[in-house]
Structure 1
Amino acid sequence: MPTLLRWKGYRFFFYSADGWEPAHIHVAKDRNEAKIWLENVTLAVNIGFSAKELNEIIKKTRDEREPFLKVWHDHFAN
């Protein structure tokens, strides 16, 4: 479960078993978790985050999209 970023208490990561799906990241904080597609930076799943938190998460994901995609593709290339 590679962690790509820790920011403001959020952990951005993906599961090593997720390679069969399109590129995405999971974001967790406390007991909340979201899944964000990286191709178009859209929300796939939200469990517990408020709209304000999701807006912040999506903005940060947009800012980090290219490095996230690089790590994803490097990880699953093997």
Structure 2
Amino acid sequence: MTVIPEVKRCVVCPSEVSMPTVMWVRGYRLFFYSNEGSEPPHVHVERASATAKFWLRPVELASRSAFDDRELRRIERIVNIHRRVIEEAWHEYFNR
């Protein structure tokens, strides 16, 4: 199993109302859009101008912009490793 350093958990930082950050991992910001609570649980990931969206059950790429395939595989591993925490934050934030 790969150990991912640099995990900074915010579990929904209160200062970020429209795009609450769940955590930062290896320079990737994992976050929600506050108006997407009607969709199934998912997380958005960004780094610089690149973005991706992953469904959480099962972890699966939903959309992407500017990430190459190699980096998407790395991000998918990160989301898989932290899926439980991300999903808990999702349910806490959206009260679902």
Note whether the superposition's TM-score is higher than 0.5.
yes
- Structure 2: which 5+ runs fail to align? 1-18
1:10-25 aligned at under 5 Å gives the runs 10-25=28-43
Q: Which structure's residues are more often helix, by fraction? A: 1
Corresponding position of 1:57? 75
Q: What CA deviation, in whole Å up to 9, does each residue of 1:13-71 have, x standing for no partner?
A: 01110101000000000100000000100000010101110000000000000010000
Give the SS at the match of 2:37. helix
Q: Tell me the residue number matched to 2:95.
A: 77
| Unaligned residue ranges in structure 1 (runs of 5+) | none
Displaced runs of 4+ in structure 1, greater than 4 A? none
Q: What's the TM-score once normalised by structure 1's chain length?
A: 0.96
Structure of larger gyration radius: 2
Alignment RMSD, CA only? Answer: 1.0
Identity, % of aligned positions:
40
Tell me the secondary structure at the aligned position of residue 35 of structure 2. Answer: helix
1:2, CA displacement in angstroms?
1.1
